Structure 1
Amino acid sequence: MSQLHFAPLESRGLIRIGGEDATYFLQNLVTCDIEKLDADHAGFGALLTPQGKILFDFIVLRTDDGYLLDTPRETLADFAKRLTFYRLRAKVEIEALGSDVGVVASWGGASPSPLPGHHASDPRLAELGERHLGNLEDIRAALLEADGQQETPEAYASHRIALSVPESLSDYGYSELFPHDADMDQLNGVSFSKGCYVGQEVVSRVQHRATARKRMIAVSADTILPEVGTEILADGKAIGTLGSSAQANGAHVGIALVRLDKVQAARDKGAAFQCGDVAVALDLPSWAGFTWPADTSDA
C-alpha cells in the first residue's frame, strides 16, 4: 500500500457561498460548470476580467448549504469583495472564513473515510491527490490517526511542480494571463458548453479559433533552476519565462510560460535553451491535449 502524505496549505483560505441563489449566482459568473458539481466532486474555475483574463481562481466543493471556494489566502478578502460587487439583488451569502478553517492536500495513498470536513479529488488532475476543507486541526488529527505522514507545504509544491500543474501566484500573477495561457482549459477549469459568464466571449474565441500560442509547460535541468521570472532564451532571444521550480524525485523541475511556436522554431534550428546560466529542456506535460505547432514560419 502506498504511503499517504498530507500537508496543511497555509497559503490557502476558504470563502463560503450560501443562500437560495448561490448556484445561479456562481453559474453565471465563473468559468466552470457549477451545476455539475455534487458533494463528491470538486470543480476548478476562475472569475475573469471582462477582457477574459484570470482575476481570481479557486477549487470549489459543494456542501449541504452552498459552496466552499478554496483560493489563495493572500487575495481572499479581495475575492470576497469582488463577489459581493456582483451580488446585486441575488439572495446570496458571501463570507471569507477565518484561519481556523482551511485546506489540507493529501497524495500518494488513499485517504480514510469518513473524515471531518469536506473532501474531493483534486479536479485539475487526479494524480495531484485530494483536497480536504474544514477545521485544520481536526483534519490533521484524522489523517495522522490513519498513519498519514505530515509534510510541509513545500513538499506538496514539489509534488505539484513535478506533475507540471501551474498554480496562480506561484507561476503567474492575477490579471496577467488568459485561461488557455495557464492551461485551465486542459485542467478542467473551463466549461465550453455552459451559458455565458464574465469574459466568456474571449475564452470561447480562443478555443474555437485554436489561437492559444502561450502555454505553461514542463522545464527540467541538471542543476537548481533560477528564480521565478527568469527569462528562457533560445539563440539569445526570449521565448518564455520561468515559474515555480523544485527538486522532485532526484530531478530539478519547473514550470514555464512559453510561446509554443517560438520554442518549436528554435528546436527546428537546433538551438539550445537557457534559463539564466542553466541549460534547460522544455517538454509538454504528460496530460497536455495540445501539441507543438507544425508551422512556425511566423515565430
Structure 2
Amino acid sequence: MRTVFKITGADRLKFLHGLVSNDVPEQGLGYAALLSPQGKYLADFFQWQEADAIFVDVATELAADLGRRLSMYKLRSDVAITDSGLCMSRGTGPAPDGAMTDPRDPGLGWRLYGTQDGDDGTDWDQLRVTHVVPESGIELVVGDSYILEMGFERLHGVDFRKGCFVGQEIVARMKHKTELKKGLMQVTVSQDVPIGTPITSEGKPAGTLFTQSGGKGLAYLRFDRANGPMQAAGAEVAAA
C-alpha cells in the first residue's frame, strides 16, 4: 500500500530540497530519501511536481512517521502537508496516458497516479532482484541502513551536487573519503530460505539474505567475505 502526500505553499520546493537526498525534478518522477542527522535511512519515496504542489509517494507503513518528521521541520515555512487521496498503479507493459517511468531503473516500468490502485501482475520481487533494488521493510531498515550501501547512487536517489540535506555530511563522507566495505548485492541461492537469514562464510558472519526469486536473491554482505562459497541456513550462496 502507498500513501501520497500533497505539499503546497510558496516555500514547498525550498523546504523539501533542504531536507531530502534528491531534488524534485522539474518534469517526471524522482526518487529520494529522508535520513536522520546521523545519515541513517528513515524513508524512501517518489516525488513529482505540478503547477501548485509537490506530491510524495511513500509506503503506507512509513507515511505517518514521514509526515510527522516533515511537519517537524516545517517551522515557519509557508508549507502545508496533506494526504492527497491519490492512488498508485504500476506495471511493465505499455504505459497508459499520464504514467511516469520509474526513475530508479527503466526496467521497473511505470507508475500512474489517480483514483484507483492497480497492478498488471508483474513479479516485482523478481524484478527487484534482477535490478538490485531494495524495498522498505525488507532490505531497507529504518534507523539502520545507509543509502549508499543500498545502491541509491546507482538508483538515482541521491544528488551530490544539490547542496545540504539532512544527513548529507555522512553521505558525502562515505562517498568521497571512505571505501564501502558492505553493501547490497545480487547472489545465487540454491534454495529459498526465510528473509533475514544470516549468511556465513567459512563459519564467520558475512551478511544477511533478503528477497529471493528464481534461484537468485538480494543480500547485504561484507565484501571481504563475499568472494567464495557462503551458506544461509541450508542454502548455498554465492555472489552473482
TM-score bucket (shorter structure): over 0.9
Q: Show CA shifts across 1:143-185 (max 9, x none).
A: xxxxxx8327xx2233222322111212131111111121112
**RMSD of the alignment, in Å?**
1.7
Q: Which amino acid aligns with 2:94?
A: A
Deviations 1:65-110 (A, max 9, x none): 2211111101211111110000001111101344xx3221211x32
Q: Partner letter of residue 181 of structure 1?
A: E
Q: Indicate the residue corresponding to 1:134 in structure 2.
A: 114
Structure 2 segments unaligned to the other structure (5+ residues): none
TM-score, length of structure 2 as denominator length: 0.93
Q: Distance in 1 between matches of 2:189 and 2:76?
A: 53
Residue 121 of structure 2 corresponds to 151
Corresponding residue for residue 243 of structure 1: 210
Name the residue aligned to 2:94: 110
Give the match for residue 144 of structure 1. none
The match for 2:105 among 103, 107, 125 is 125
Once the two structures are TM-superposed, the CA of residue 204 in structure 1 deviates from its matched residue by 0.4
Contact 2:91 2:121 in 1 (8 A): no
Q: Which amino acid aligns with 1:165?
A: V
Of 200, 222, 230, the residue aligned with 1:273 is 230
Is 1:170 the counterpart of 2:138? The answer is yes
Question: Which of 79, 82, 90 is the aligned partner of 2:77?
Answer: 90
2:62 to 72, 75, 82: 75
> What SS does structure 2 have at the residue aligned with 1:162?
helix
In the TM superposition, residue 38 of structure 1 has moved relative to its aligned partner by 2.2
How far apart are the structure 2 equivalents of 1:62 and 1:163?
A: 26
- Distance between the aligned counterparts of 2:19 and 2:232, measured in 1? 38
Q: Secondary structure at the match of 1:188?
A: coil
Take 1:165 and 1:56, find their aligned partners in 2: how far apart are those partners? 15
Q: Among 4, 7, 10, which residue is 1:14 paired with? A: 4
What do residues 39-90 of structure 1 show as CA deviations (whole Å, max 9, x unaligned)? 3x21111111000111111111222222111111012111111100000011
In structure 2, C-alpha distance between the alignment counterparts of 1:163 and 1:226, rounded to whole Å: 20
Which residue of the partner structure matches residue 26 of structure 2?
38
Q: What CA distance in whole angstroms lies between the structure 2 residues aligned with 1:230 and 1:181?
A: 19
For 2:236 and 2:168, locate their aligned partners in 1 and report how far apart those are by CA, in whole Å.
Answer: 39
- Note if contact 1:171-1:228 (Cα within 8 Å) is conserved in structure 2: no
Give distance in 2, aligned partners of 1:69 and 1:161.
Answer: 25
Aligned pairs for 1:47-66 (under 5 A) are 47-66=34-53
Larger Rg: 1
SS at match of 1:136: coil
Question: 1:202: which partner in 2?
Answer: 170
> TM-score when scaled to structure 1?
0.76
**Aligned positions, number:** 240
Listed as ranges, the gaps of 5+ residues in structure 1 are 1-10, 141-148, 284-299
Q: Counterparts of 1:261 and 1:58 in 2: how far apart (Å)?
A: 31
Contact 1:47 1:54 in 2 (8 A): yes
Contact 2:91 2:120 in 1 (8 A): no
Is 1:219 aligned to 2:182, yes or no?
Answer: no
Counterpart in the other structure of 1:291: none
